[in-house]
Structure 1
Amino acid sequence: MRKIAIVICLSALTLISCSKNVDNSIIKKNPIQNNVNNVMNAKIVTTKSYTSNDEIPVGSNSEICKKQGIFDSKVYHRNKILFLGADSNGNIRTFNLNTNEIESIDQDNKLTVLLNIMGDRKNHVFAIKMLGDLVAWSECPNGNMDPAEDKTKGKGWAVYYADLKTKTITKVDGDKGITVPENTQYGYLAPNQVFLSPDTISYVSFDQNEEDQVTSVIKLYTISKRKLEIIDYLNEDLSQNGFCYPSVSGDKIVWAKAHVNQDGTYTGYSYLYDAKTKVKSELVTDENIINPIISGHYIFAEGRPNKTFYDSEVCVYDISKKKWVYKINNDYSQYKNNKDVYLDDLTQVGNYLFWRSAGMNSLVLFNAENNKLYNIVQASSKTRIESPLLLDGGLFIWFETNIEDPSRQLYKYILLK
């Protein structure tokens, strides 16, 4: 059964040795304040006028590509290295799951350790996200295990963030000793995704509602105020319903609530929350649209027609117009020769939106600045794409294999403008 959203993937590559530099940075403990807002509920009746698939202009890759190449140095092919993105100078930043160190790799493939984020704690990082010089993550004692095999269900979890400039680490949230009901759709306690904006960290977690019942919640931490809030409770049955991950842009936050149907498909609603006015608005539409991501005046989301199990599509909503304006699905020319193509696992960095597709033999980006599609890798029956990631700083990476010569797999990258 396909999940509402995908847990971040940790790549396992070839092992080489490296020195371990321990950073003795100060860990600041945050006095956690859990504030339940008096949220006002509203509805926004949306309209739709889609420009779809090949109706959308296609740009030249040279318009958005600053640098491209192949990761051929051994420094990129180490065991348990997670790519985080690129800094403003084009240096690649990685996280070493063996040493718990955030690293920087320069143009000459020289590796520098920036920060050890674990210190004396005995936990393992479960999910991690970088934005500029900020890094946020969730951790727990068994964060290195498959959640399905962790009998503690992520007990002992915590959320932290680090400032790479000041070398300070701040605790945001942690385990309250809550036990999640056995029949919960996704009952792992440690947040399996953290969303990071310049001043906020948001994630799905568990807490008690006003009736002291354990339920799923949307949490928002404001860095400048050192304030943790619960901005929504899941009031439905946890065995059949769940929250999708939140996403933040300025004062606006989006997330979705979905019901799990008997056939494994999802039916849900997307919400737009204004942190200033405390108004949570349901985006009313006659389509089934979930998993939203917000960036500026656009909301990117997954449309789930549920006519088949393989028909999810990308939908773009213009907040100012209250209108759904762009749609990409398996009728797009880059997917025409594939069977059962579904588009999901949306990722947004800057102006760029990326999504995964089943049986990948092409890579496509949407640029919200000029409303164009970019066919980064043209569809080919001779090409296989694996593990594509769009990361902070406009770093776009993937493995590419020529099916006629599968022994040679290239680790490619592009730095986007």
Structure 2
Amino acid sequence: MNTEYTLESLAISLSIVAIFLLFSTLFKEKIEKAEIKHDYKFINGLRGLAAVFVFINHAPFILTSLGITNSTFSTWGWIYVNLGSFGVQIFFCITGFLFFDKVIKTPTMQWDNFFEGRVRRVAPLYYFSSLIVVLIACFYSNFEIFDKNTLLTLASMLTFNFLDGPSKIGEVALTPLNSVTWTLVHEWRFYAVLPLIALAYKSKYNKLILATAVVLTAIDLSVSAIVCWSYFLTGIVAAVLHKKIQCSKINAGTLSILALGIFIYTCGIKVEQGYGALRFVLTSCFFLCITIGNPKLLHAQCLNRLSDISYSIYLMHLPILYLTFKTASLFVDLSTISKTTFWSINMIAIPFVTAISTLTFIHIEKRYMKRKTSAS
């Protein structure tokens, strides 16, 4: 299988990660004051990196998303694309891991509290970011927005995209502003079936049910190019193995090295779709190695800070990239800028993404989670 690596893509990717770490460190006091306590540090570290990987995926293609053809450069390597899909897949795996781990540890789940908690955790920031997206689209449409497409798009956004919509406000397509929100549909579907998964786990036929789920996964992957639900199953299996397998330091080191090797291979692999059978196997092996090996590197506090603001980074980075490049277009012709200028503009967006993500984490995400804690 061909893989692709260039010094340029490696340097740019590492630079973006480093800048995110640097600026999240500048907001260290604010983030850590509102820090969310989690049982698994390695999951935190992985979540923070996954959010940055999604940013790395979208950064190279912002001009294309804006409908701008640059005459100086036009193509990008696979690494940027693979990092984005890998980050999303890791988010799905983490969701499966954390919530099935909760099922394992909790004799009797209070499902009303669970779903209320999920709404409080996910909805406020989603609707805030959606409001920002709508306002930006209204502005660049000169507020000529009163048409059928706008109404259908608003209905879709209000329902977390469960209702299909044209994703267009006025004359502005929302793809460059909120194309990440499609993943939330899959998250909500997992939350909806989690009570059934809990019942299956506590059934005496749980091994048979798991075997059936694995077979269904294999069938789905063999006939479909894009399969998302299977990554939640990976997280579920990882939660079970994490509880049952005690890993020695030597084995943990071996698993960490193996995970790194899989990650490097996955980033450079040339595949048409990032959600097919091969990618599922690679991502699943990576995640299992991480959850069993528990690498100490992922315990780093700088990654933990990124984890706290990761949901905000995920939802807010596209509107900020959009505004950054729209502002830049007032001073330079984006169709003729050099690659150096292009990446410089992307790098300039990172401090704004970090700062705004810190504010939304503290004043939106954390605020509603606090209300849930007080109510409990």
- TM (norm. structure 1) is 0.24
Give the number of the structure whose residues are more often strand, by fraction.
Answer: 1
- TM (norm. structure 2) is 0.26
Greater RCO between the two (CA within 8 Å, min separation 6)? 2
